[in-house]
């Protein structure tokens, strides 16, 4: 193992330690990102999905559409495989990320 790999390994270890130092009630969605090793690109894709689904939700509400299951299924299918739906929904609600969408998704859990 070369010096660069050793330094990288140490940084990853320190990162895991810092995640454990964050209080359980502080930034739970960010904790999920770090614990599951998601890249910035993967997180951006998540936010793009949530933006799209939030707009879809608003359109459905305006049209009087009341069934939540299709939106939930779409969210579930597009969620990164390392993440669990319930943890993501709860984490986003705690951090007030996409509250209308997450409240709706929570009803389908």
pLDDT tens-digit readout, 36-70: 989 999 999 999 999 999 999 999 988 888 777 89
Q: Cα–Cα distance between 39 and 43 in angstroms, integer? A: 6
Q: What is the pLDDT of residue 37?
A: 87
pTM: 0.83
For domain 3-107, give the CATH number.
1.10.3750.10
pLDDT tens-digit readout, 81-100: 999 999 999 999 999 999 99
67-74 contacts at long range (C-beta below 8 A, 24 or more positions apart): 68/104, 68/105, 68/107, 68/108, 69/108, 71/104, 71/105, 72/104, 72/105, 72/108
């Amino acid at each position: 193992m070369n010096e660069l790999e050793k330094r990288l390994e140490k940084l990853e270890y320190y990162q895991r330690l810092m995640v454990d130092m964050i209080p359980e009630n502080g930034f739970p969605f960010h904790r999920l990102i770090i614990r599951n090793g998601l890249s910035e690109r993967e997180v951006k894709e998540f936010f793009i999905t949530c933006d799209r689904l939030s707009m879809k939700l608003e359109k459905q509400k305006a049209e009087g559409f009341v069934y939540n299951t299709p939106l939930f299924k779409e969210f579930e299918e597009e969620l990164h495989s390392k993440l669990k739906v319930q943890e993501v929904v709860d984490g986003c609600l705690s951090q007030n990320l996409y509250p209308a969408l997450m409240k709706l998704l929570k009803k389908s859990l």
